[in-house]
Amino acid sequence: MMEEYYSKHFTLEKIREGIYAAISKPGGGSVGNAGFIDLGDQTIVFDTFNTQQAAEDLKTVAEKITKRCVTWVVNSHWHGDHIRGNQAFKESIIISSQMTYEKMREIHPSRISKQKSDINGLTTYIQSLKDQLSESYESKLEEQISFLSEIEASLPNLELTLPHQTFKDEITFYGSKRSAKLYTFGGGHSYCDAILYIPEEKVIFMGDLLFVNTHPTIFEDSDPTKWVQILERLKELDIDVAVPGHGPVGTKRTLSEIIDYITDITEIARTTKGDTPLPEKYQTWHSSEIYNQNLIGMRQRFN
């Protein structure tokens, strides 16, 4: 943790000299994790959080530490908590896979427009939560109010900023200090997921292909079978540090834990009905409410 830099949206964690993870704080405007890499003569930011105010903090610290403007910004996939901060980096080159670009362009304009048109509804809802909080204090409720207030603050000036460039399978960024490889093997967690690997440092930024000590979200656009296959391929890389889309920084071992989770929940969904208790080995993971959502979604796949 870097005590000299504070953001209410994330904790900055130094992974290696010139490589930093920005780990989301509960109740802030980040929601997902991000990070940045100093290549020596270029800077890459990986993902841009859920709000432009969180992204501005990320940009500020990246420029302060690297002493240069951000050169490249990677969008790992199309989900909002990884791309809605893009407008803070309009002067950088934002890059994603072609599929991620297409889904952002197809899905987000109507979502953002709908949210902007109902800011008053959101404000009213936040006030109702504050009224609840005044009657009985709950830390989870306080976090939710804080999170929704960040959304509320972001909406008036939020602009969808699409990637300026796309790549197909792989692109390598060569810098004077180190290189970084941007890969995609297609869809796993989303329609298409990209990862950034820094071979010399054995560090990988994985977006939402990896959750650490946190229940992974298996959405309608997820492909659990391919997700496992992608993780198995990534395990072949030389990895010491794995930065997830959600949760604390992990290692190569944490890739296996998500493989196990997806395999386990697939089998539970296939072989059981009704309420099924959360397996013991996942009981200490964050976001336990996601387990039942995942189970319901997986069962629907088998019907």
pLDDT of residue 56: 98
Let me know if residue 2 belongs to a domain.
Answer: no
Same domain, residue pair 44 and 178: yes
Contacts 24+ apart (CB under 8 A), 249-254: 249/13, 249/15, 249/21, 249/23, 249/212, 250/210, 250/212, 254/210, 254/212
d(CA 241, CA 196): 12
Let me know if residue 260 belongs to a domain.
Answer: yes
Let me know if residue 203 belongs to a domain.
Answer: yes
Helix or strand (DSSP H, E) at 133: helix 119-135
Same domain, residue pair 179 and 48: yes
Same domain, residue pair 182 and 257: yes
Same domain, residue pair 51 and 115: no
By residue range, what is the domain housing residue 110? 105-154
With DSSP H G I counted as helix, E B as strand and the rest as coil, what are the percentages for the chain, rounded to 5? 45, 20, 35
Are 52 and 87 spatial neighbours (Cβ–Cβ below 8 Å)? yes
d(CA 239, CA 162): 31
Same domain, residue pair 115 and 251: no
Let me know if residue 5 belongs to a domain.
Answer: no
Same domain, residue pair 25 and 124: no
Same domain, residue pair 175 and 213: yes
Name residue 203's beta-bridge partners: 198, 241
pLDDT of residue 139: 86
pLDDT of residue 42: 97
d(CA 245, CA 206): 6
The structure tokens listed for 27 are 């109740």
pLDDT of residue 275: 85
pLDDT of residue 5: 85
Same domain, residue pair 99 and 110: no
Q: What is the pTM of this model?
A: 0.96
d(CA 178, CA 173): 9
Same domain, residue pair 75 and 125: no
Number of folded domains that form the chain: 2
Let me know if residue 1 belongs to a domain.
Answer: no
Q: What is the CATH number of the domain that holds 273?
A: 3.60.15.10
| Domain finish residue from 154, 179, 194 | 154
Same domain, residue pair 128 and 64: no
Let me know if residue 33 belongs to a domain.
Answer: yes
pLDDT of residue 260: 98
Low-confidence ranges of the chain (pLDDT < 50): 1-3
Same domain, residue pair 173 and 88: yes
pLDDT of residue 290: 96
Same domain, residue pair 74 and 112: no
Let me know if residue 87 belongs to a domain.
Answer: yes
Let me know if residue 199 belongs to a domain.
Answer: yes
Fill in the amino acid letter for 140.
Answer: K
